[in-house]
Each structure stands twice: as structure tokens, then as C-alpha cells.
Amino acid sequence: MNKTKKIMAVDDSPSIRQMLSFTLKQAGYEVVEAVDGKDALVKFAAENIQMLITDLNMPNMDGITLIREIRKNSANRFMPIIMLTTESQETKRQEGKTAGASAWIVKPFKPEQLLGVVRMVLA
């Protein structure tokens, strides 16, 4: 990792945000936290983000909408997006994929699982 990649972590749960943030920082990434979709969009515009990790169920703006909004901007068409889901249902995941998510992680997850997926999609 010659250049530090900046990752945005979006989740309404402080516990999960803290866990994401801690794990990613430990692995040498820079992390920007956001509490929901709306917050994320605002911060996203201000920062140079290389990757997005977002929960799907959030107040104000949910993850699916956030992914769609981000992908609308052609500059972000190829940015990796990981969605966090607790559902093992195919439908939610499919919805996320259609919206443009690159990958997903099923909660709860272990730090090494998170890093595994991040490493893979950041290539």
C-alpha cells in the first residue's frame, strides 16, 4: 500500500462504526465515518474517498439509496462499494447489487473477514 486509501464507513450504530473504523485504521487505511446516507453524501462530496462501506438499514437515507446516489455520479462508477447486511436473504443482497454494490459482508463479522473483502475489492 504505497498510498493510503481513504475509506468511508457508514452505519447508524456507533458500535459498528467504531469496529469498522478501528479495524481499518489498524490495517493502515484512512477512515471517514458517517451515521446515515444523508450524512455520508455530504461528507462524500467533501472528501476524496476511494471506497465506501455502508450499512443498509439506516434512518434518514438507507444504504441502497446511498449506493444509487453515489453511482449516479459517473466519477464514482467504478469505485468499490461494500454493503453490510444482517439479512441472509437473497432479495436484499440482490437489491444492493442492482444498485451497484461491489460486495457485501454479513454481520456479524470478524475483523479479518472485513479486511479480506476490503483487500479483494480494493485490488
Q: Which of 104, 98, 109 is nearest to 120 (CA)?
A: 104
Query: Minimum CB separation from other proteins for residue 66, in Å?
Result: 14
Interface with other proteins includes 27 (CB under 8 A)? no
Interface with other proteins includes 41 (CB under 8 A)? no
Instruction: Report the distance separating Cα 8 and Cα 80, nearest Å.
Output: 11
- H runs (alpha helix) in the chain: 14-26, 37-46, 63-72, 90-99, 111-122
Interface with other proteins includes 75 (CB under 8 A)? no
Our CB check for other proteins shows the closer of 32 and 70 to be: 70
Interface with other proteins includes 64 (CB under 8 A)? no
Residue from 6, 12, 27, 30 touching other proteins (CB under 8 A): that is 12
- By CB under 8 A, which span of 2-10, 27-35, 37-45, 51-59 interacts with other proteins? 51-59
Interface with other proteins includes 68 (CB under 8 A)? no
Identity (one letter) of the amino acid at 109?
F
Q: What is the dihedral of CA 20, 17, 3, 118, to 10 degrees?
A: 40
Q: What is the dihedral of CA 43, 49, 55, 59, to 10 degrees?
A: 10
Q: List residues near other proteins by CB under 8 A.
A: 12-16, 18-19, 22, 55, 57-59, 77-82, 84, 86-88, 97, 100-110, 112-113, 116-117, 119-123
